């Protein structure tokens, strides 16, 4: 199992309480996150995995957890492709 975390080369700032701007220091590129992206980023920086993020979004925005999880996974994939987050392997065994 794996989760994601922001890369150390990425800094973020909050704008208007529900939007964020990310700066990838190495690529010298800015990214603007809307309310949903901002919330996902916020939870990600608190160490939440995709399932926990989806559960929070489902509760906050009246979505099904399955729908929220699809959105979260898709967004995390985009963040990975842009080099903003990295996958982290969970070393626990089940």
Mean pLDDT of 53-81: 96
- pLDDT of 23 > 60? The answer is yes
Domain 2-82 in CATH 3.90.700: no
CB distance 9 to 26 below 8 Å? yes
Portion of the chain with pLDDT greater than 90, in percent:
85
Mean pLDDT of 30-37: 96
pLDDT of residue 2: 66
Domain residue extents for the chain: 2-82
- pLDDT of 94 > 70? The answer is no
pLDDT of residue 17: 86
Determine the number of helices (DSSP H) and then strands (DSSP E) in the chain: 3, 5
Q: What is the pTM of this model?
A: 0.89
- pLDDT of 44 > 70? The answer is yes
């Amino acid at each position: 199992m794996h989760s994601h975390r922001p890369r150390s080369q990425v800094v973020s700032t909050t704008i208007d309480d529900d939007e964020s701007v990310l700066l990838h220091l190495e690529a010298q590129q800015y990214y603007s996150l809307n309310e949903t992206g901002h919330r996902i980023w916020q939870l990600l920086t608190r160490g939440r995995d995709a399932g926990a993020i989806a559960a929070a979004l489902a509760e906050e925005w009246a979505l099904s957890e399955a729908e929220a999880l699809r959105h979260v996974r898709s967004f995390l994939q985009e963040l990975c492709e842009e080099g903003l987050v990295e996958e982290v392997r969970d070393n626990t065994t089940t």
